[in-house]
Chains A and B, each alone.
Chain A
Amino acid sequence: MPEALLSKKNQKIVKDGLWDANPITFQILGICSALAVTTQLKTAIVMSLGLTIVTSMSNVIISLMRHFIPSSIRIIVQLTVVSAVVISIDQVLRAYMFDVSKQLSVFVGLIITNCIVMGRLEAFAMSNPPWKSFLDGLANGLGYSAILVMIGIIREIFGAGTLLGFHVVPQWMYAHGYANNGMMVLAPGAFFLLGIIVWIQRAISGYAESA
């Protein structure tokens, strides 16, 4: 009896990736890019899209090949597959969204070593069929995207007073002495924000590390 496409088990895979085992706040994976590309909402969205595509695609590919990969060379096989997908994404970005590609600079290439991709390949795709792996990659990518978009919105509003490039902080607030918070654009702001978001998410989901 084949399993339904969205059975209870598959729903749990999606929910895990999005909330209970969120890649950033629970598995502590992929933090580098979460902080680096979130000074603006636009780059955050493009990066999330890229990572979601890479995770789900490479999850499917590796899952299809899982019976033919000798375990001694699996890491290099995974890296090759991931790099191939990332190269395609990078070329598309350069062709159609050159300014965003410039802003993301090296971080598109760094999707290759993004721990979420490798982590999901190792932990899930190597031992599960393609459809489940696709769902898992998609859910983890979206869980990552949710955090990224959240940080991106907060940093852009408070750091530059804009959202997607439009001014959202009204002029009369500046006239009354409001000033953009420059720290939000810089590195420390990103660290603080992620720390606080992790705190809130874990307080709600009830997960705590031992030390």
Chain B
Amino acid sequence: MDVVHYVNLAIKAIFVENILLAFFLGNCSYIACSKKIETATGLGIAVIFVMLICTPACWAIKHFFLAKGALTWAGLPNVDLSFLIFISFIAVIAAMTQVVEMLVEKFSPALYNALGIFLPLIAVNCAILGAALFLDQRNYNLLESIVFGLGGGIGWALAIISMAAIRKKLWYSNIPAPLRGLGITMLLSGLMSMGFMCFAGIRL
């Protein structure tokens, strides 16, 4: 239970097991929104934000309601609701996205305008649900899930922003017509993912 453990977890979530480049999560919005650096940055920040809030929320839902024996406090020690994990996690994420949207609109209209359409769309970004399901599968505790959520979000943002920067350069290249867009983005992601694999083995 020392700091090093959490730093290691964060490094692993950001670089070694990058949620986009190693687990392929959130690929659709990654391809659709990486055409411009501004939108990529906005979406990246929004994802970090929502992920940081959703992972502890999902942890709490699982820990107090859904896991086997979690309802002991309500006098129901034998109830196992874990089959409801999918539906409650997606509901939590959709609700949280809505709450975050309202909060941001109220307290920071500038950020709200910058993020625009992307905030509501995050509800169906599989990176968020993926992170929530990973923390369920790996049995993280509360602090670990917060660190994992933050790290996963930062890793995702890092990947999409760098891809947007590369694609900006591509405007000046002569790519074969059928390879334009999706094709070349996939090939580039492959190279990027190879680059990120070099981080494997970093430990403090």
**Which residues does A use to contact B, with CB under 8 Å?**
25, 28-33, 35-36, 75-76, 79-80, 83-84, 86-87, 90-91, 105-106, 109-110, 112-115, 118, 186-192, 194-196, 198-200, 202-203, 207-211
- Chain A residues near B123: list those with CB within 8 A: 75, 79
Jot down 9 A-B pairs with beta carbons below 8 A, ordered by A. Answer: A25-B182, A28-B182, A31-B28, A32-B24, A32-B130, A83-B86, A110-B133, A195-B190, A199-B183
Task: Assess whether B99 is interfacial by the CB under 8 Å rule.
Answer: no
Decide: A87 and B83 in contact? CB cutoff 8 A: yes
**Size range of the interface on B?**
35 or more
- Chain B residues near A109: list those with CB within 8 A: 85-86, 89, 129, 133
Decide: A113 and B124 in contact? CB cutoff 8 A: yes
Task: Assess whether B178 is interfacial by the CB under 8 Å rule.
Answer: yes
Return A110 CB to nearest CB of chain B, in Å.
5
Q: Identify the interface centre among A191, A198, A200, A207: most chain B CB within 10 Å of its CB.
A: A191
Task: Assess whether B158 is interfacial by the CB under 8 Å rule.
Answer: no
Task: Assess whether B23 is interfacial by the CB under 8 Å rule.
Answer: yes
Task: Assess whether B31 is interfacial by the CB under 8 Å rule.
Answer: yes
Please tell me which one of the listed residues A31, A113, A211 contacts residue B181 in the complex, with CB atoms under 8 A apart: A211
Task: Assess whether B4 is interfacial by the CB under 8 Å rule.
Answer: no
Interface of A, secondary structure class, is helix
- Chain A residues near B193: list those with CB within 8 A: 187-188, 191
Top 6 A-B pairs, shortest CB-CB distance: A209-B181, A191-B190, A195-B186, A202-B178, A106-B133, A208-B177
- Chain B residues near A203: list those with CB within 8 A: 178
Decide: A86 and B178 in contact? CB cutoff 8 A: no
Given the contacts A191-B193, A199-B183, A32 and B25 also touching, CB distance less than 8 Å? yes
- Chain A residues near B85: list those with CB within 8 A: 109
**Which residues does B use to contact A, with CB under 8 Å?**
21-28, 31-32, 35, 83-87, 89-91, 94, 123-126, 129-130, 133-134, 137, 171, 176-187, 189-191, 193-194, 197
Decide: A87 and B87 in contact? CB cutoff 8 A: yes
- Chain A residues near B27: list those with CB within 8 A: 31-32, 35
- Chain A residues near B84: list those with CB within 8 A: 87
- Chain A residues near B125: list those with CB within 8 A: 113
Q: How far is the CA of A80 from the CA of B87 in the complex (A)?
A: 7
Q: How far is the CA of A60 from the CA of B167 in the complex (A)?
A: 39
Q: How far is the CA of A30 from the CA of B28 in the complex (A)?
A: 7
- Chain A residues near B134: list those with CB within 8 A: 106
Decide: B180 and A198 in contact? CB cutoff 8 A: no
Return B152 CB to nearest CB of chain A, in Å.
13
Decide: A209 and B187 in contact? CB cutoff 8 A: no
Decide: B182 and A198 in contact? CB cutoff 8 A: yes
Decide: B181 and A36 in contact? CB cutoff 8 A: no
- Chain B residues near A75: list those with CB within 8 A: 94, 123-124
Decide: A187 and B24 in contact? CB cutoff 8 A: yes
Decide: A191 and B189 in contact? CB cutoff 8 A: yes
Given the contacts A106-B130, A199-B178, A79 and B94 also touching, CB distance less than 8 Å? yes
- Chain B residues near A189: list those with CB within 8 A: 190
- Chain B residues near A36: list those with CB within 8 A: 23-25
- Chain B residues near A79: list those with CB within 8 A: 90-91, 94, 123-124
Decide: B178 and A110 in contact? CB cutoff 8 A: no
- Chain A residues near B182: list those with CB within 8 A: 25, 28, 195, 198, 209
Given the contacts A87-B87, A112-B90, A187 and B21 also touching, CB distance less than 8 Å? yes
Q: Identify the interface centre among B90, B94, B123, B178: most chain A CB within 10 Å of its CB.
A: B178
Decide: A199 and B179 in contact? CB cutoff 8 A: yes
Return A133 CB to nearest CB of chain B, in Å.
20
Decide: A86 and B25 in contact? CB cutoff 8 A: no
Residue of A nearest to B23 (CB): A36
Decide: B180 and A211 in contact? CB cutoff 8 A: yes
Residue of A nearest to B124 (CB): A113
